[in-house]
Amino acid sequence: MALLVQKFGGTSVGSVERIEAVADRLCRSRNDGHDVVVVVSAMSGETNRLIALANDIMEEPTPREMDVLVSTGEQVTIALLSMALQKRGCEARSYTGSQVRILTDSAHTKARIQDIDERNMRGDLDKGRVVVVAGFQGVDEHGNITTLGRGGSDTTAVALAAALKADECQIYTDVDGVYTTDPRVVDAARRLDRITFEEMLEMASLGSKVLQIRAVEFAGKYNVPLRVLSSFKEGEGTLITFEDESTMEQPVVSGIAFNRDEAKLTISGVPDTPGIALRILKPVSDANIEVDMIVQNVGADNHTDFTFTVHRNDFRRTREILDKLASELGAREVAGDDRIAKVSIVGVGMRSHAGVATRMFEALSNEGINIRMISTSEIKISVVIDEKYLELAVRALHSAFELHTAESEAR
């Protein structure tokens, strides 16, 4: 008998029928003897619908009122799910974030959880009830409703699991686990049985959208075993956990992440002097533009080139900043490319294996794919390539690192 926190996302509670199916599943967990706290999202599309209503009234509604509005989506699902449970003879009680008392700071629309009072939940669990909690929302010290940022129900679930010292936090979603890469790009992509927190964080920040990044960080920090699994299909899903002996035998590379959301800019012929990186990047960060990869060339004749990547949406604005800077610095030229993509291989196994980068570069070179930028960390190597080669690159790397299943190879 275990204490489980189970989270169901928007598609899993997207209609009355689906809510009933979730209730069936929860009753089964109860009958197996588990204590269950459930966290739900709003019905799929609901949060977007509410935001659109607000935007019909004004372009930038105040964040406080936005939170009052969007938190209603989850309030609907907790009530409906509790009813569906009760209909099945399974005792249940719904809680909004403020009724639990999920205390957050006052940063509306992106609040952070500060404390969770678990007494109400414990009381109900002791009486044999299923506790149904609204995800994504909390309350600040003044009683204002707050929300945790888009996708925040994952974070609610992990935070509750940490507070209750649950045996596992299970995230039920529309995919049946974390894959070696996006199955829409590589047919042979395979579900991973386990992945480490570190790898999952890299995969999430590199574009894999299975879990909210903050939820993974939180789970790693508070040591909450986290499992991603399908609410539509039976299966073990993927367990996100710490590195241990069993992960030692893991392959060198666990997964391949990619994203098309980047653009790169180069300012060339700038003076190679102390402070030049600051001169170039400060105005960019002052404009609230996030910079990802950065490369500065070895200088020649006291001049150098400087290249970096930004989100594709920020390309035009960054270019304007650089054009202005170029005349101030007497730079030779500013060039940009917004048809690039970033592909990354991720794996804790890289720490103990040499030659991983070579293998990656060889696979890309065999396909005639030109690498434009490279960056590495302890468990990741990322390259920037032309967007048109993205699928080809992901497929080539997936097979170079033998991530295919035995069956898929036979196909």
Cα separation, 199 vs 251, whole angstroms: 12
Shorter beta-carbon distance to ligand ASP: residue 42 or 206 = 42
Instruction: Provide the token pair at 272.
Output: 């190679």
Cα separation, 185 vs 364, whole angstroms: 16
Cα separation, 345 vs 350, whole angstroms: 10
- Using the contact rule CB under 6 A, the part of the chain among 115-123, 151-159, 274-282, 361-369 near ligand ASP is 151-159
136 touching ligand ASP, by CB under 6 A: yes
- Using the contact rule CB under 6 A, the part of the chain among 149-157, 235-243, 273-281, 361-369 near ligand ASP is 149-157
Assign 38 to helix, strand or coil: strand
Instruction: Provide the token pair at 47.
Output: 């949060």
- Using the contact rule CB under 6 A, the part of the chain among 118-126, 150-158, 261-269, 350-358 near ligand ASP is 150-158
Smallest gap from Cβ 9 to ligand ASP, in A, equals 6
Of 71, 98, 153, 254, the one binding ligand ASP by CB under 6 A: 153
14 touching ligand ASP, by CB under 6 A: no
Task: Spell out the alpha helix ranges (H) of 235-355.
Answer: 245-248, 276-286, 315-329
138 touching ligand ASP, by CB under 6 A: no
- Using the contact rule CB under 6 A, the part of the chain among 89-97, 147-155, 312-320, 365-373 near ligand ASP is 147-155
Smallest gap from Cβ 289 to Mg ion, in A, equals 26
135 touching ligand ASP, by CB under 6 A: yes
47 touching ligand ASP, by CB under 6 A: yes
Cα separation, 287 vs 318, whole angstroms: 9
Shorter beta-carbon distance to ligand ASP: residue 41 or 307 = 41
218 touching ligand ASP, by CB under 6 A: no
Q: Whose CA is closest to 42, among 17, 90, 79? A: 79
196 touching ligand ASP, by CB under 6 A: no
Of 73, 177, 220, 237, the one binding ligand ASP by CB under 6 A: 73
Q: 146: Cβ–Cβ under 8 A, 6 or more apart, which residues?
A: 67, 97, 104, 105, 106, 107, 108, 111, 137, 138, 139, 140
Cα separation, 358 vs 341, whole angstroms: 20
CB under 5 to 8 A by kind: which of Mg ion, ligand ASP, none does 150 bind?
Answer: ligand ASP
Cα separation, 356 vs 342, whole angstroms: 17
Q: Whose CA is closest to 93, among 123, 48, 52? A: 123
Q: 201: Cβ–Cβ under 8 A, 6 or more apart, which residues?
A: 213, 216, 217, 220
Instruction: Provide the token pair at 157.
Output: 């679930």
CB under 5 to 8 A by kind: which of ligand ASP, Mg ion, none does 347 bind?
Answer: none
Size of the site for ligand ASP (CB under 6 A): 12
- Using the contact rule CB under 6 A, the part of the chain among 40-48, 77-85, 348-356, 364-372 near ligand ASP is 40-48
Instruction: Provide the token pair at 390.
Output: 């993205």
Smallest gap from Cβ 77 to Mg ion, in A, equals 12
* Binding residues among 84-123 for ligand ASP as defined by CB under 6 A: none
The region, left, alpha or beta by phi > 0 then psi within -120 to 50, assigned to residue 271 is: beta
Q: Whose CA is closest to 383, among 204, 200, 259, 205? A: 259
CB under 5 to 8 A by kind: which of Mg ion, ligand ASP, none does 336 bind?
Answer: none
81 touching ligand ASP, by CB under 6 A: no
Shorter beta-carbon distance to Mg ion: residue 150 or 260 = 150
Q: 269: Cβ–Cβ under 8 A, 6 or more apart, which residues?
A: 303, 305, 330, 331, 332, 333
Assign 373 to helix, strand or coil: strand
**Could you tell me which residues are beta bridge partners of residue 179?**
191
151 touching ligand ASP, by CB under 6 A: yes
- Using the contact rule CB under 6 A, the part of the chain among 49-57, 148-156, 330-338, 369-377 near ligand ASP is 148-156
Of 101, 112, 150, 359, the one binding ligand ASP by CB under 6 A: 150
Shorter beta-carbon distance to ligand ASP: residue 6 or 47 = 47
Binding residues (CB under 6 A) for ligand ASP: these are 9-10, 41-42, 47, 73, 135-136, 150-153
